[in-house]
Amino acid sequence: MEDLEKELKLSVVNELEDHINELSDALNGKSEDQISEEDINLIFRVAHSIKGNTRASGFDELAEVSHFFESKLMDVKIDHTRYNEKYHDLCLSYLDLMSVALEELNKDIDSKIDINTFINSIEQMQESKTTKDKPIPKEMIHPTRQKLSGNFLLIDDDESILEIISEYINDNFEATISTELNGQEAIATTDEERFDVIVCDYKMPLINGTEFIKMLRHSTNSNKHTPIVFLSGYKPKLNEPGEVWDNVFFIDKPFAESKLIYYIKCSLSLNKERNVA
């Protein structure tokens, strides 16, 4: 191992110890009903940091398991009321796994960490959901190996959600991504650049999803008919004329990565048909 690579790995291991301490402060000695929304946000942020650091330094197993954990935690980050004993046990298991990993890596920086048990527990949680919540089958999401390409605009007032959605899209598409934190700024952005798909939170500050799509559909810019994927924690009342909602999909929060990617692919297909026409 090169000295620079080893130095980077040692630095990440030292940071891992700090992250474990943060997780311990948030979780240890608490039951599931004592975990606050602030605690969940901290756990999510720590997992995201561990994923980024370990991926950059070559600890592939820890990066993979943190990705799965972070994706699962999206359920409760979006809706804190979903946090129950199963999620609490999952968080404690993640803490235990990171603690074991730290111990092993302090002994041998090249140790391989067994993540199979933890991954299996996440898969079992997914399988226990009802049929309507099960992810879209992989063959529907990845029908070919070649990645589709697109120019995407993402709108959400939560920057951590934007990061997650951006990562999902980058993992599945050859993507150019722009982000905005509210609908007003997004409308201004659509005046300047053409997008293939817009992914938008429905309940936003300044203007909500209905106001956003009315402004967009009544505009004269190149995104007047761009497909939109709305992310919504509830089913909105669609009081506007039907044409306003053409080329629009709604995904319930919390959402699975597979479902988001599926509807983005549907949107890209609609956009392609629009361009041909």
Tell me the per-residue pLDDT of 214-224, one tens digit each, with 9 for 90 and over. Answer: 999 999 999 99
Using CA of residue 147, residue 153, residue 158, residue 163, what is the dihedral sign? positive
pLDDT, position 140? 44
Tally of CB atoms within 10 A around 26: 19
pLDDT, position 192? 94
Q: Is the pLDDT assigned to residue 145 strictly greater than 70?
A: no
pLDDT, position 259? 84
pLDDT, position 74? 78
Q: Is the pLDDT assigned to residue 139 strictly greater than 60?
A: no
- How many CA within 13 A on the CB side of residue 27? 24
* Residue 276 banded pLDDT, cuts 50, 70, 90: low
* Residue 196 banded pLDDT, cuts 50, 70, 90: very high
Asked if residues 265 and 141 have their Cβ atoms less than 8 Å apart, the reply is: yes
Q: Quick one: tokens of 225? A: 């008919």
Mean pLDDT for 8-25 is 92
Q: Which residue has the higher pLDDT, 172 or 120?
A: 172
Mean pLDDT for 35-63 is 88
Give the integer Cα–Cα distance in Å for 241 and 264: 23
Mean per-residue pLDDT of the chain: 84
Share of the chain above pLDDT 90, in %: 39
pLDDT, position 248? 87
Q: Which residue has the higher pLDDT, 242 or 182?
A: 182
Q: Is the pLDDT assigned to residue 136 strictly greater than 50?
A: no
Q: Any idea which fold 149-276 has? A: Rossmann fold (3.40.50)
**What would the pLDDT profile of 64-122 be if each residue is shown by its tens digit?**
889 888 878 877 776 666 788 989 999 999 999 999 999 999 999 988 888 888 888 87
Q: Is the pLDDT assigned to residue 1 strictly greater than 60?
A: no
With CA atoms as reference, report the closest residue to 86 among 77, 97, 78, 76.
76
Cα-trace Rg, the chain:
21
Mean pLDDT for 1-28 is 88
- CATH class of the 1-127 domain in this structure: mainly alpha
Termini Cα distance of the chain:
56
* Residue 142 banded pLDDT, cuts 50, 70, 90: very low
Domain ranges of the chain: 1-127, 149-276
Phi, then psi, of 231 in degrees rounded to 5: -105, 120
Mean pLDDT is highest, among 44-53, 60-69, 83-92, 175-184, for 175-184
Q: Is the pLDDT assigned to residue 143 strictly greater than 50?
A: no
pLDDT, position 24? 94
Give the integer Cα–Cα distance in Å for 251 and 271: 19
The amino acid at residue 129 is K
Q: Is the pLDDT assigned to residue 45 strictly greater than 80?
A: yes
Mean pLDDT for 37-58 is 88
The amino acid at residue 73 is L
pLDDT, position 52? 84
With CA atoms as reference, report the closest residue to 114 among 125, 127, 103.
103
Mean pLDDT for 227-253 is 74
